[in-house]
Structure 1
Amino acid sequence: MANFSKSNVPHFSLDVYQNEYLPEGGREVNAIVTVTATGGGTLGTGVPQPRTAPPGDPAAPSAAVVVMVDCSGSMDYPPTKMRNAREATAAAVDTLRDGVAFAVVAGTHVAKEVYPGGGRLAVADDRTRAEAKEALRRLSAGGGTAIGTWLRLADQLFSGAGAAIRHGILLTDGRNEHESPADLKAALDACAGRFTCDARGVGTDWEVKEVTQISSALLGTADIVADPSGLAADFTRMMETAMGKEVADVALRLWTPVGTEIRYVKQVAPTVEDLTARRTEAGPRAGDYPTGSWGDESRDYHVCVRVPEAAVGQEMLAARVSLIRPDPAGGAPEALSHGLVRAVWTDDMAASTAINPQVAHYTGQAELAQAIQQGLDARKAGDFDGATAKLGRAVQLAVASGNTDTAKLLSKVVDVVDATTGTVRLKAKVTEADEMTLETRSTKTVRVKK
């Protein structure tokens, strides 16, 4: 394990957990990589501290935030929904620290600037926060929904800010009916890597897979706010988290020797997110996987590689894992931390068949997320036997791993007969909010018990 620290950025550490022993002929190596950032701008308190502009650009803001608020016609049903959205956005604006660049966008079948306007971002202080909240009073509902246009406008606004941390917050209450799925995907592809984005669905008339597609592509979080009255508290929490980010565009770099194949790279805590297809080449036999922005936090990643066969007694470096931060000036990237994944062939059956506890735990958490998704899809399709089997397996995995939050959500969709064996019955009546909450939060995991 190696560490890196610098003023104004967190101190990063990287730990590798694995069973490096393989039987003769064994080829698959699994490792959990834990990345921890501490002592940044939040100073371990969770409360963002003032930051200075990056060296060499004293006028540049350290962070920029664009809030995208659904203002389509459905936001008027009930009328309190639009009022709650205005209040939530005002609460988020109040949470902005001085010096952060920000804007508010109204989203319908087109995207419109609410504040400050003119294709620019405002800089947060007492005056601009008050002006933004006054502008929010004029928000009204009307029109359709084309989320890709909202994201593209946010990207345009960010591009002129020069901020290191670029974060979007997006609220929708309906389906993306006024643009094609291809248009939304094209917008997400264009914005990926340019800013992160948290997405929220309010009420129960939106499409879970659309909202999670946005958060997944833009390395943010997704959640449901079933009751619009909860929006202000949720927006405040999201903005507080965004204000705690100190380092942007961090990547997990994997170098592998000749003959070694990377099977997958997944974030497994705090949520499951497959990063395999997001690899960008970074020199001979090396590739970078995006992890987004960091404050004071810890995340776990599952790396699985396939190595060449070798005889008992041989050992090799299966992969070198590094945490990389690009140089804003365009120079060589900085290595924040690194660790090694090893392979050792042995005829000791006890050593080669032991499963590392971290690997076993997160393999189960990934299966849990998949079982919930498959079970809910089967339920919607009318395959009640398939749904019962998958959701029963999900209950079994949730209870065994100590994921009590997910177990509680599952209990609102199924009656649990025996959690240990995964014996369940589908509930005859399930509220739309309970089903959507389970689907939206299905990828949330619990950390391995040390």
Structure 2
Amino acid sequence: MGNTSHGRLTFTVEVDAPEDLAVDAARADALLTVRARPAGEAEDRPGDGKAGHGPRHAEVLIMDRSQSMAASGKLDEAKKAVSAAIDTLRDGTLLGIVAGDHEATVIYPPPGRPLAPVDQHVRQHAKHQVAAQVAQGGTRIGRWLTLARDLFDTSTGSDTVCHAVLYTDGKNEHETPEQLANAVRGCADRFTCDARGLGEHWHRSAIRAVTEGLHGSAAAVLDVPDLTEDFVRLMQDAQQLVMPRMYLALSLTGRFDLGFVRQTRPVQVDLTDQRQERGAEIHIPLGAWAAGAHQYHVSVHFEPESLPLNHRVQAATITLRTEPPAGQADRPTCTDERVLIVKRRSSKAFVIPVSANLTRVEAERELRFAMQDCADAHERGDSALADAKLRQALALAEQLGDTRRLRLLRAMAQDGPDGKPVVRPGVSNGRIQQIGLDATRTGPVPDDPVDADTGPRRDTGVCPNCHRPLVAPDAKFCEPCGAKIGAEGAG
């Protein structure tokens, strides 16, 4: 398993990777389960920022004060939520507050000062500044994030857990998606950020851009008064973070190239574009960590003819690394190395074993796309496609036993004239945004993923176009060649 203690957490890496490959296979896949457990019962309490009591924490709270927040008492409710978050922070946590519209302003601490260590005096003054905010202007989330990064940069070191949280009630209309993406890249690997869509008129694309790039959680808060409870929980969770930065380190042998790295649990995120070249290794940033578990799908590609037949070949070594202490360049390892081994079989008649866990991962990915396609089609006014994607999503969620997403889908469905589910007329924009956003939420890693219920196990079949094995039995497309499976004219 590769069990190694690093500071306050003990890490293990479990690898589920079928060794045998078809003679014409061009990729190998592995499902990695990374678990972090407290290193000992006598661990110091994290988060108060004092020597000997765990890592220092820094928190920047980002308020949307755009003009739309004036409606329906939203800004007043948001002020309650931000004030409750301030009260939840432990003494010693470094605090900053950014108020955002089409510009961004630090409203606490006072101009020119670093982030303030929380105490009763700081709480009082910070909440006073929050209460004084007035709705104005538009929305430019990238500017808010950049100012939060600047606050962290002036007040923290590499050993500080830096976390931000933001909410927004409207569309990010004062910058392009490319400008937001550039801002997120400028903040990547510097701090993590949770984001919330508030009420009915926001759009999931900006929320996802923030949280996928900055390793945070994304959620819809449709009932505005619920934001207070949500922010309190987010602060409690943030203060459990004890590792400022973690990295998945991959060292590929000469025949192999990285295809992709995707987080599969608790949330689906494609991490491939975040790769960092570090000497002979590829490092994938994983954000800040607390005790808990995550799963990752790693795929490596190769030319079939480059592998000798019936020989075990090392494709990659896998380990975890963390942020080095100040003054050191090399990121220390947190786990023993794991090795990915493959064997190309010489006969097409050889039965290639299929990982039930990888099969489930692909089915969950199809569920994600069905939910997102349903939301997209509804927004375009394509009711026929939205209804078809809703039915597909309902079937996949039921097959997977995904009760949470099944409940969300049923809440927006009703029986059509033919008895089949259709999108309920009059479903709110907030509900559509929630469906599109929650499509990526797969839930916690099972305690024993190998023995977990992974649904029906069936022959995955082969692609009729390139004749390579499909990872999922119900795959709608072949990832190596892109051909649609079951489409008219395929093959």
Whether TM exceeds 0.5 here: the answer is yes
Q: Tell me by how many angstroms 1:235 deviates.
A: 0.3
Alpha-carbon distance in 1 for matches of 2:109, 2:370: 45
CA contact 1:61–1:100 (8 Å) conserved in 2: no
Alpha-carbon distance in 1 for matches of 2:415, 2:362: 23
Letter in 2 for 1:368: L
Partner secondary structure for residue 230 of structure 2:
helix
Distance 1:2 1:61, change over 3 A: closer
Alpha-carbon distance in 1 for matches of 2:278, 2:422: 50
Larger mean Cα displacement after TM superposition, 247-256 or 138-147 = 138-147
1:202 has 2:201 as partner? no
Alpha-carbon distance in 1 for matches of 2:75, 2:45: 29
- State which of 234, 237, 251 in structure 2 corresponds to 1:241: 237
Partner secondary structure for residue 82 of structure 1:
helix
Alpha-carbon distance in 2 for matches of 1:351, 1:193: 44
- State which of 275, 279, 304 in structure 2 corresponds to 1:279: 275
CA contact 1:43–1:49 (8 Å) conserved in 2: no
Counterpart mapping for 1:21-32 below 5 A: 21-32=20-31
- State which of 79, 83, 88 in structure 1 corresponds to 2:81: 88
Q: Tell me by how many angstroms 1:369 deviates.
A: 0.9
CA contact 2:23–2:347 (8 Å) conserved in 1: no
Q: Percent identity?
A: 32
Distance 1:196 1:41, change over 3 A: farther
Partner secondary structure for residue 178 of structure 1:
coil
Distance 1:54 1:336, change over 3 A: farther
Alpha-carbon distance in 2 for matches of 1:346, 1:183: 48
Letter in 2 for 1:323: L
Alpha-carbon distance in 2 for matches of 1:305, 1:327: 28
Q: 2:375 — aligned with what?
A: 376
- State which of 68, 71, 75 in structure 2 corresponds to 1:77: 71
Q: Tell me by how many angstroms 1:349 deviates.
A: 7.6
Q: Tell me by how many angstroms 1:27 deviates.
A: 3.0
Q: Tell me by how many angstroms 1:87 deviates.
A: 0.7
Q: 2:208 — aligned with what?
A: 212
1:137 has 2:168 as partner? no
Counterpart mapping for 1:385-404 below 5 A: 385-404=384-403
1:444 has 2:438 as partner? no
CA contact 2:202–2:430 (8 Å) conserved in 1: no
Letter in 1 for 2:123: R
1:323 has 2:317 as partner? no
CA contact 2:201–2:429 (8 Å) conserved in 1: no
Q: Which has the higher contact order (CA 8 A, sep 6+)?
A: 1
CA contact 2:46–2:55 (8 Å) conserved in 1: no
1:4 has 2:4 as partner? yes
Q: 2:464 — aligned with what?
A: none
Q: Tell me by how many angstroms 1:25 deviates.
A: 3.0
Alpha-carbon distance in 1 for matches of 2:423, 2:352: 37
Alpha-carbon distance in 1 for matches of 2:121, 2:360: 50
CA contact 1:61–1:99 (8 Å) conserved in 2: no
Q: Tell me by how many angstroms 1:109 deviates.
A: 1.6
Q: Tell me by how many angstroms 1:331 deviates.
A: 3.0
Partner secondary structure for residue 334 of structure 2:
strand
Q: TM-score, normalised by structure 2?
A: 0.83
Q: 1:255 — aligned with what?
A: 251
Q: Tell me by how many angstroms 1:429 deviates.
A: 3.0
Letter in 1 for 2:104: A
Larger mean Cα displacement after TM superposition, 432-441 or 220-229 = 432-441
Q: 1:165 — aligned with what?
A: 161
Letter in 2 for 1:390: K
- State which of 275, 283, 291 in structure 2 corresponds to 1:288: 283
Partner secondary structure for residue 353 of structure 1:
coil
Q: Tell me by how many angstroms 1:347 deviates.
A: 6.0
Partner secondary structure for residue 334 of structure 1:
coil
Q: Tell me by how many angstroms 1:61 deviates.
A: 6.9
- Give the root-mean-square deviation of aligned CA atoms: 2.5
Letter in 2 for 1:213: A
Letter in 1 for 2:435: L
CA contact 1:412–1:430 (8 Å) conserved in 2: no
Alpha-carbon distance in 2 for matches of 1:61, 1:294: 12
CA offsets 1:302-358 (integer angstroms, 9 cap, x no match): 011123433542111122111111313223211111322221234688974321121
Distance 1:350 1:20, change over 3 A: farther
Distance 1:21 1:415, change over 3 A: farther
Alpha-carbon distance in 1 for matches of 2:47, 2:282: 34
Letter in 1 for 2:77: N
Alpha-carbon distance in 2 for matches of 1:136, 1:414: 40
CA contact 2:47–2:56 (8 Å) conserved in 1: no
Partner secondary structure for residue 189 of structure 1:
helix
Q: 2:469 — aligned with what?
A: none
CA contact 1:23–1:312 (8 Å) conserved in 2: no
Q: 2:187 — aligned with what?
A: 191
- State which of 120, 129, 138 in structure 2 corresponds to 1:126: 120
Partner secondary structure for residue 333 of structure 2:
strand
Alpha-carbon distance in 2 for matches of 1:238, 1:155: 19
Counterpart mapping for 1:302-313 below 5 A: 302-309=297-304, 310-313=307-310
Alpha-carbon distance in 2 for matches of 1:146, 1:274: 24
CA offsets 1:106-137 (integer angstroms, 9 cap, x no match): 11121112222224211012221222222222
Partner secondary structure for residue 180 of structure 2:
helix
Q: Tell me by how many angstroms 1:180 deviates.
A: 3.2
Alpha-carbon distance in 2 for matches of 1:50, 1:189: 27
Distance 1:406 1:381, change over 3 A: same
In structure 2, stretches of 5+ residues that fail to align are 454-491
Counterpart mapping for 1:140-151 below 5 A: 140-151=134-145
CA contact 2:33–2:293 (8 Å) conserved in 1: yes
Alpha-carbon distance in 2 for matches of 1:385, 1:42: 56
Q: TM-score, normalised by structure 1?
A: 0.91
Q: Tell me by how many angstroms 1:54 deviates.
A: 7.0
Alpha-carbon distance in 2 for matches of 1:179, 1:26: 44
Distance 1:76 1:439, change over 3 A: same
Q: 1:116 — aligned with what?
A: 109
CA contact 1:48–1:240 (8 Å) conserved in 2: no
Distance 1:258 1:429, change over 3 A: same
CA offsets 1:258-293 (integer angstroms, 9 cap, x no match): 121221110000000001111111223x21111000
Total equivalences in the alignment: 438
Alpha-carbon distance in 2 for matches of 1:332, 1:22: 35
Alpha-carbon distance in 2 for matches of 1:432, 1:42: 47
Distance 1:291 1:54, change over 3 A: farther
Partner secondary structure for residue 4 of structure 2:
strand
Larger mean Cα displacement after TM superposition, 110-119 or 223-232 = 110-119
Q: Tell me by how many angstroms 1:83 deviates.
A: 1.2
CA contact 1:40–1:246 (8 Å) conserved in 2: no
